[in-house]
Chains A and B, each alone.
Chain A
Amino acid sequence: MAHDHAHEHDPHDHDHGQAMPETALRVKALESLLVEKGLVDPAALDAIVDAYENRIGPRNGARIVARAWTDPDYKARLMKDATAAIAEFGYSGAQGEHMVVVENTPAVHNLVVCTLCSCYPWPVLGLPPVWYKSSAYRSRAVIDPRGVLRDFGLSLPDDVAVRVWDSTAEIRYLVLPERPAGTEGLGTEALADLVTRDAMVGTAKVAGP
Chain B
Amino acid sequence: MNGVHDMGGMHGFGPVTPEANEPVFHAPWEGRVLALRRAAGAWRRWNIDAGRHTIETLPPAEYLRLSYYEKWFESTIKLVLGAGLVTQRELETGCRDPAVPVATPPLTADKVLPAIMAGGPTLREISATPRFAAGQAVRARDINPVGHTRLPRYVRGRRGTIECDHGAHVFPDSNAKFEGENPQYLYTVRFAARELWGEAANPADAVYLDLWEDYLDAV
A25–chain B nearest beta-carbon distance, Å: 9
B70/A23 in contact, CB under 8 A = yes
Confirm or deny: B103 has a beta carbon within 8 angstroms of a beta carbon on chain A: yes
Given known A27-B32, A49-B32, A51-B112, contact A162–B13 (CB-CB < 8 A): no
Confirm or deny: B36 has a beta carbon within 8 angstroms of a beta carbon on chain A: yes
Confirm or deny: B179 has a beta carbon within 8 angstroms of a beta carbon on chain A: no
Interface members, chain B 83-118 (any A CB < 8 Å): 85-86, 90-91, 94-96, 100, 102-105, 107-109, 111-113, 115-118
Given known A56-B116, A142-B9, contact A163–B208 (CB-CB < 8 A): yes
- B39 touches which of A14, A17, A37, A41 (Cβ 8 Å): A41
**Residues of chain A at interface, number, CB under 8 A:** 88
B215–chain A nearest beta-carbon distance, Å: 9
In the complex, the chain B residue whose C-beta lies closest to that of A137 is: B16
Confirm or deny: A169 has a beta carbon within 8 angstroms of a beta carbon on chain B: yes
A16/B26 in contact, CB under 8 A = yes
In the complex, the chain B residue whose C-beta lies closest to that of A15 is: B67
Given known A33-B86, A165-B208, A169-B210, contact A16–B19 (CB-CB < 8 A): yes
Confirm or deny: A94 has a beta carbon within 8 angstroms of a beta carbon on chain B: yes
Confirm or deny: B125 has a beta carbon within 8 angstroms of a beta carbon on chain A: no
- A34 touches which of B18, B34, B36 (Cβ 8 Å): B36
Interface members, chain A 150-179 (any B CB < 8 Å): 151-152, 158-171
Given known A93-B117, A162-B205, contact A40–B186 (CB-CB < 8 A): no
Confirm or deny: B134 has a beta carbon within 8 angstroms of a beta carbon on chain A: no
Q: In the complex, what distance in Å separates the CA atom of A92 from the CA atom of B114?
A: 10
A–B Cβ pairs within 8 angstroms, 14 of them: A17-B25, A34-B86, A41-B105, A44-B112, A47-B112, A48-B34, A53-B31, A97-B119, A142-B9, A151-B15, A160-B204, A161-B206, A164-B208, A171-B188
- Where the two chains meet, the residues of B that have a C-beta atom closer than 8 Å to any C-beta of A are 5-19, 22, 24-36, 38-40, 43, 48, 52, 55, 64-65, 67-70, 73, 76-77, 80, 85-86, 90-91, 94-96, 100, 102-105, 107-109, 111-113, 115-123, 150-152, 154, 166, 169-170, 172, 186, 188, 193, 196-197, 202, 204-212
- The 7 A-B residue pairs with the shortest CB-CB distance, nearest first, are A17-B26, A115-B8, A93-B119, A169-B210, A38-B103, A48-B35, A43-B109
Given contacts A39-B39, A93-B119, 19 further A-B contacts (CB under 8 A): A11-B65, A16-B19, A28-B29, A30-B36, A30-B76, A39-B43, A43-B109, A44-B39, A46-B109, A48-B38, A57-B24, A93-B115, A97-B121, A130-B26, A136-B17, A139-B8, A145-B205, A158-B204, A167-B210
